[in-house]
A and B are shown apart, each in its own frame.
Chain A
């Protein structure tokens, strides 16, 4: 009997070890940063890199590494329960990277404390707050401009005069692209009604699809997929969809009209240049994530979607895009929580 209990304890320990290993395998931290000539960059992500937001930052850094401009290591899935401060401190002490990129949402105080303690390292974080001298810069996904253009397309393409948006949480980042999409749709089509649903999750594509299907049941024939799952609903019903964060045309080539794209490459390239030249300062890098500098864009318009896209509409969108780029037209930044049913 006691032998049995002994063995079962061994297996419990084994289970815990296996579980820990499996969880640890999801993050990579091999600490070869900070070895002199190439610029060493560390990525610190609260979510897994499969999450679209952090994935955009990660992919831009991977591209720089492939081009031989930086050495890059990262840790993801750090979470929101205290590990961010420990990991950043360990990395700053042991690996001493030149730059740390990451997202500070949900870990704002911790990230800023560590940045303050290591002024020689450039901290560049996605954040809802402002920069802090001497070394803490901020960026965010300022993709409301292409969201406005996507809204114009949706407003012009809808035949039912109802379009939909399915988002994660009503946080400022999501609210402003949703409101810009609504504004664009209404600019193109005065009588349009926009249905807005939040699923209160960053990851629940099945719920996002159901939310989109509910909007389609209510008459929507074009839906904006702030989250995964929405494009699948449009495809199943043979309707139109708009992707978010990256060009998602490949998911449903007959249904995705265009996507609202965020690209961190301009931000990353600028910071690397500044650090390399020794002229890095703390600043708000907002402009590098906007249309004019290429950090935000509307993916090429897919004219082979069901029903096609009118050339006049494409011309109107292109003209508006040119106006935004040249500074003649400014898309309002409205971060108020949108209603479930707007206009109509």
Chain B
């Protein structure tokens, strides 16, 4: 029983950065843009959030810095994929490489000289019902599950803004004819999505660790891309996917150290979360309906 509660607690914690990313990336993809810059955006959010907190001493300014960096990287992605209409794959990968390079470069300039890792006072776990229970989480975890996911779902589903985003991703010609600015909605979706992804990255430096090291995102951005497809571009399904992934991840770490589990190669256990998502994708992913204008730049001509 305690074993299960431990796993549940760890699952919510590990799903948090993925939930921010999944909600954000769902917005951009529903607007018709595959943003492969998300890995770099999460990385830059983690770094600039950490750097801002290290300089100012304020965690809130760290989150703000991550949001600013996210909005900026969404704007750059918009420049390439919306204004210039270039290949979204190339622009996204380029953005990821660029943002990781810039983050590591500035990290070396400002934090590289010290002997050890620079440590900031990070977010502490909240204990609304005392220590050692499932509610023992960071504030950002509460925000992810109680604010970002439900609000993101409601806005996309039930507001005219959400309808606009879905319209420009489904049928930009019709949206344009109805008087919506396709590029405006796509820019907005990119900026919202990237800001959320950047906060998801900042969660790792500002809450989980309190330090920044290279490789800090370690592919979580790519996991988010897979989870959005797993969720068939629906927020609640994507969040569910994030919980499944984080749950299997947390489970396998605990199985590995049980006596007798050496019969299973630990590499297989580590691969388990990915295998489960791939399997679920293969089973449920038939007849997936991509947003109608997925990957297509819009030109009025």
Contact B256 A12 (CB under 8 A): no
Residues of A187-210 contacting chain B, CB below 8 A:
195-207, 209-210
Closest to A48 in B: B214
Question: Contacts A26-B104, A251-B116 hold; do A214 and B253 have CB atoms under 8 A apart?
Answer: yes
Contact B101 A23 (CB under 8 A): yes
CA of A246 to CA of B115 in the docked complex: distance in angstroms?
Answer: 8
Contact A217 B94 (CB under 8 A): no
Contact B262 A340 (CB under 8 A): yes
Residues of A156-204 contacting chain B, CB below 8 A:
164, 195-204
Q: Give min CB distance, B62 to chain A, whole Å.
A: 16
Number of A-B contacts (CB under 8 A): 146
Determine the chain B residues whose CB is within 8 A of the CB of A12 once the complex forms. Answer: 80, 84, 86, 90-91, 94
- The answer, among B105, B116, B216, B259, for a CB contact under 8 Å with A26, is B105
22 contacts between A and B (CB under 8 A): A4-B85, A7-B84, A8-B80, A8-B85, A12-B86, A26-B105, A50-B112, A50-B213, A164-B257, A201-B215, A201-B218, A209-B209, A210-B10, A210-B13, A210-B253, A214-B6, A214-B250, A214-B257, A217-B3, A217-B6, A218-B258, A228-B213
CA of A209 to CA of B14 in the docked complex: distance in angstroms?
Answer: 11
Contact B97 A19 (CB under 8 A): yes
Contact B253 A25 (CB under 8 A): no
Contact A250 B105 (CB under 8 A): no
Contact A341 B257 (CB under 8 A): yes
Q: Give min CB distance, A136 to chain B, whole Å.
A: 29
Most A-side CB within 10 Å, residue of B91, B112, B262: B262
Residues of B80-123 contacting chain A, CB below 8 A:
80, 84-86, 90-91, 94-95, 97-98, 101-102, 104-105, 107-108, 112, 115-117, 119
Contact B254 A217 (CB under 8 A): yes
Determine the chain B residues whose CB is within 8 A of the CB of A48 once the complex forms. Answer: 104, 214
Q: Give min CB distance, A212 to chain B, whole Å.
A: 9
Residues of B48-94 contacting chain A, CB below 8 A:
79-80, 84-86, 90-91, 94
